[in-house]
Chain A
């Protein structure tokens, strides 16, 4: 299996004194789906920005496809790594098709007109994400879930082996959350994309992701297969929240129990086995 992302001894801080990320090393193999989870301020988005070359590490290195990130030109890196950032509405009312075809930017010539290949790729991405039906509508007129699909369509249209996503489901209802993860999973399985998604949803990542990188606010981190990394103790350590743990096949699921939660007094220490009905 080829390693496509390799981070070695990565450290980063926004000012000279502080360090958000300390000495982090991990690898992602081609075609894997990695979740990055952790409390607010642990540096998840920062890590994502390091991976896509927007920030430069203080020390350590990141290699994409065996070459250091900083050795890529902006254009070449955009052909390797596509990014879906947290939801936003652009200032100008671009249509869905216009937005998705921006993914072809690193492939265009001087005057920036799309070739037939570009158009075909954009149309395929629109089809795959079921956004073709509103290709000519403006982005501002769509709902949050629809808009997020458009940004994923754009990432797919970049034809890059790696997809980075920053909290792709944070503003969405349950149905759309699952829809987005289904979409990403199919991109992984059918197109062989390597996906790295920052997420707050441990349960969804347990169901959909192969590996998880749990990033603590204290700088400790833990990476591995979801079923190994995610445990009641680990979550309590990283997030400071007690959870009820259940089991669904190989994977565990977690229900957070705060001070006033209804069942907070009766947490079982052993995982419960939930049968599929």
Chain B
């Protein structure tokens, strides 16, 4: 008898992973106790806000600094990992990742254009930054897919090459824009570009969390179609999948969650590559399972990476993008070697 993934089994796996994520998040929020100037005492921190706001410093640090930062890292990790899963399926390329394919820089370019052009209005959490990021990401997804489609039949390397070129081009435009910008904007922009998780207002986080969660849920409805689409367009049509619809939903949602992640934290690489691969190796390639588990494990991964970035050169801070790139670069090379060999007999 063959085994099948059931909704119940999936729910159990997701719950277990969620518990692990919760443990990781609380540990990373509580430990290490003494990063930065202020040493926090847990007993004091847990005793509540005190009579007046700001009276209990330890509580304030935990709730206003540590907690938002951990939540932010988790959100960005989940978004990037999901985006990686979806891009790998749609582009039928195991090496796809929003950062490598230049989608993050597309979103980043959108953000920088929004900041530098000084358009400012906001409407219920929607801001020009978010919209520009989304537009940038969407255009890049389309561009990379189009170039990859146009240059060859799903060759692993031709698509990567398209991504590299698009990435380099957008990075150059970003550099150009930052160099003509006013000097006080430059430092923060560059730091942001390196992938930087800093404390954000909780209300922004809740809106972003809602958007990312909604994106992931919509993506989950096309997960089975992604399984089939990973076999190629002809096969997918033969098996009754509406290819155009699946592609639009998947591209739009992947661009959407990537754009949110980028506008929150800048360019963080390799999360969308490492996590889906790790999950696929452990649990198999079924996207119904791959997507939710990658989201949760990606969240845990980035929380841990951010904690490392926070403590390793304390009291200074390292951008988290540095940590993920140091971990992800070698990993990418191993995968490239593996799949290039495989593809040669795949023709």
Q: Is A249 an interface residue (CB 8 A)?
A: no
Q: How far is the CA of A89 from the CA of B92 in the complex (A)?
A: 12
In the complex, chain A residues whose CB is within 8 Å of the CB of B189: none
Chain A residue numbers with a CB within 8 Å of B3 are 97, 135-136
- Given A76, A93, A106, A136, which contacts B239 in the complex, CB threshold below 8 Å? A106
Q: Are A111 and B221 in contact (CB under 8 A)?
A: yes
User: Given A102-B228, A132-B2, is A91 in contact with B94 using a C-beta cutoff of 8 Å?
Assistant: yes
Q: Which of B224, B228, B234 contacts A85 (CB 8 A)?
A: B234
Which of A52, A92, A93, A126 makes the CB contact (< 8 A) with B238?
A52
Give B219-263 as 1s and 0s: 1 = Cβ < 8 Å from A's Cβ atoms.
011011101101110110111111100000000000000000000
Chain B residues with CB under 8 A of A101: 2, 4
The answer to whether B7 touches A78, judged by C-beta atoms less than 8 angstroms apart, is no
Q: For the complex, give the distance between the alpha carbons of A197 and B93 in Å.
A: 31
Residue A64 is within 8 A (CB to CB) of chain B in the complex: no
Interchain CA distance A82-B239 in the complex, whole Å? 7
User: Is A94 interfacial (CB-CB < 8 Å)?
Assistant: yes
In the assembled complex, the CB of B152 is this many whole angstroms from the nearest CB of chain A, namely 14
Interface centre among B154, B228, B242 (most CB of A within 10 A): B228
**Which of A112-120, A170-178, A228-236, A261-269 contacts the other chain?**
A112-120
CA distance A94 to B92 in the complex (A): 13
Contact present for A54 and B234 (CB under 8 Å): yes
In the complex, whether B334 has a CB less than 8 A from a CB of chain A is no
Smallest beta-carbon distance B293→chain A, Å: 15
**Cβ-defined contact, B224 with A108, below 8 A:** yes
When chains A and B are docked, how far (Å) is the Cα of A105 from the Cα of B7? 16
Hey, which chain A residues are within 8 Å of B5, CB to CB?
Answer: 113
In this complex, how many residues of chain A approach chain B with their Cβ under 8 Å: the count is: 45
Q: Is B346 an interface residue (CB 8 A)?
A: yes
Check if A89 sits within 8 Å of B346, measured CB to CB: yes
User: Once the chains bind, are A91 and B224 in contact (CB under 8 Å)?
Assistant: no
Q: Does B54 interact with chain A (Cβ within 8 Å)?
A: no
Tell me the bound Cα distance from A96 to B2 in angstroms: 9
Known contacts A89-B346, A91-B94, A112 near B240 by CB under 8 Å: no
Which listed residue, B2, B6, B240, B288, touches A135 by the CB 8 Å rule? B2
A97 touches B238 (CB 8 A): no
Q: Assess whether B280 is interfacial by the CB under 8 Å rule.
A: yes
Whether, in the assembled complex, A83 has its beta carbon less than 8 Å from a beta carbon of chain B, the answer is: yes
Assembled-state Cα–Cα distance A6/B238 (Å): 19
The A-B contact count (CB < 8 A) is 108
Taking CB atoms, residues of chain B closer than 8 Å to A96 are: 2
Q: Is B285 an interface residue (CB 8 A)?
A: yes
A249 to chain B, nearest CB (A): 36
**Chain B: minimal CB distance from A128 (Å):** 13
- Interface membership of B201, Cβ < 8 A: no
The answer on a CB contact under 8 Å between B6 and A113 is: yes
Q: Are A74 and B346 also in contact (CB < 8 A) when A91-B94, A112-B224 are? A: no
Check A110–B221 contact: CB distance below 8 A: yes
Across the interface, B237 reaches (CB within 8 A) one of A54, A88, A110, namely A54
List B residues 1-59 near A (Cβ within 8 Å).
1-7
Chain B residues 259 to 296 lying within 8 A of chain A, measured CB to CB, are 280, 284-286, 288
Q: A111-B221, A111-B288, A114-B4 are in contact. Are A74 and B280 (CB under 8 A)?
A: no
5 closest A-B pairs by beta carbon, nearest first, are A112-B224, A78-B240, A106-B240, A97-B2, A92-B285
Q: List 27 A-B contacts (CB under 8 A).
A: A53-B237, A54-B238, A74-B241, A78-B240, A82-B238, A83-B238, A90-B230, A90-B231, A90-B232, A92-B89, A94-B227, A94-B284, A97-B4, A98-B227, A98-B285, A98-B286, A102-B228, A105-B228, A110-B221, A111-B221, A111-B288, A112-B224, A113-B6, A113-B288, A114-B4, A119-B4, A135-B1
Q: A90-B230, A135-B1 are in contact. List 6 more A-B contacts (CB 8 A).
A: A82-B238, A93-B284, A111-B221, A111-B288, A114-B4, A135-B3
Which residue numbers of B lie inside 8 Å of A, CB to CB?
1-7, 89, 92-94, 154, 220-221, 223-225, 227-228, 230-232, 234-235, 237-243, 280, 284-286, 288, 346
